[in-house]
Structure 1
């Protein structure tokens, strides 16, 4: 990895507690300047965060990114379980292109990518959203998975 990963990135202060906790956990797993692997992430270390986590595999085909594990809170917000589907098929956000942009950036840089831009969802509701994309690697350098935490608060329906 070309440069050290920031211990205190500029967005960390405005991030929610769950995002800060996962970032610090991930950072502690970055040993010797290498990205952590999936095996380095132990769910028993972060049980409170599990409902908000998504694990996405980077694949070398037209799908690009595939959901492999999706937490219960994330499924609840989405209204469906995207496990096994590509990000293009089952993204949650303003567009598949924007979703791919964040994954692409995490893969290209090998660095965390934070997004707290609110958006209007496909259901027409405003979403106050916060996401952190954390790269994982089987060899410490090439990104093979992305660990994602998402905190989303859709506006309630007003009938």
Structure 2
């Protein structure tokens, strides 16, 4: 971890644009984002929905059902922890899973450190384990919807983003990205777990 950075501990609801709902709470909104260029790959035709209104793929639904199954009882008492996530329970999802630490620089906005990136994600997007979101997308205004997806996940708001990845020399991929919070033993959101995959799965 870079000097001056620490893992950020957030209570659900104290980041993002609205209070974070409990696991399973229904919220809804939609926004459309423009395509952006990422080297030789372009992200186009992107849309994002809050969980309750999202047109989920079967894999996206499987991921969210698993995350909700790990939420503590009773509803509204918090989010799953990292220890609740058992890789042997989700073998089909593992290549498409990524995990990020929530980071804080004193006096600055949140940042996110990629702790783990699944092999299927790396095959499509390139390897970015140990990178920070601010290194990959330094212009936060230009990538506001992407940054909001991360910030709102810290607050407990789960966005589902779907977009088309395009290359000059290969077939395009319809891509789905979901982020959900993980809390630490103190009940604070310090990690996010995500799913990123071609949405025909």
Name structure 1 gaps, 5 residues minimum. Answer: 154-159
Offset of residue 107 of structure 1: 1.0
TM-score (norm 2): 0.62
Q: 1-side partners of 2:22 and 2:152: how far apart?
A: 17
Instruction: Report how far residue 99 of structure 1 moved.
Output: 2.1
> Unpaired segments of 5 or more residues in structure 2?
1-11, 13-19, 27-50
- For residue 189 of structure 2, the aligned residue among 131, 143, 146 is 143
**Which residue of 57, 60, 65 corresponds with 1:19?**
60
Q: Show the counterpart of 2:96.
A: 52
* 1:133 maps to which of 162, 179, 185: 179
1:113 pairs, out of 148, 151, 159, with 159
Q: Aligned-pair distance for 1:129? A: 2.0
For 1:74, the equivalent position in structure 2 comes to 121
- Root-mean-square deviation (CA), in Å? 2.6
Change in Cα spacing, 1:100 to 1:31, as seen in structure 2 (3 Å) is same
Say whether residues 1:10 and 2:56 are aligned partners. Answer: no
Q: Computing the radius of gyration over CA atoms, which structure comes out larger, 1 or 2?
A: 2
Aligned to 2:198: 152
Deviation readout 1:36-65 (Å, 9 max, x if unpaired): 111110101101110001001101126710
Secondary structure of the structure 2 residue equivalent to 1:59: strand
Query: What is the CA–CA distance in structure 1 between the aligned matches of 2:134 and 2:161, rounded to whole Å?
Result: 18
**1:89 matched to which residue of 2?**
135
Q: CA deviation at 1:100?
A: 1.4
Paired with 1:140 and 1:83, the residues of 2 have a C-alpha distance of: 26
Identify which of structures 1 and 2 has the higher relative contact order when contacts are C-alpha pairs closer than 8 Å and 6+ apart: 2
Residues 117-150 of structure 1: CA deviation (Å, up to 9, x unaligned): x2566x5786522111111010364211110101
User: Is the contact made by 2:182 and 2:193 (CA closer than 8 Å) also made in structure 1?
Assistant: yes
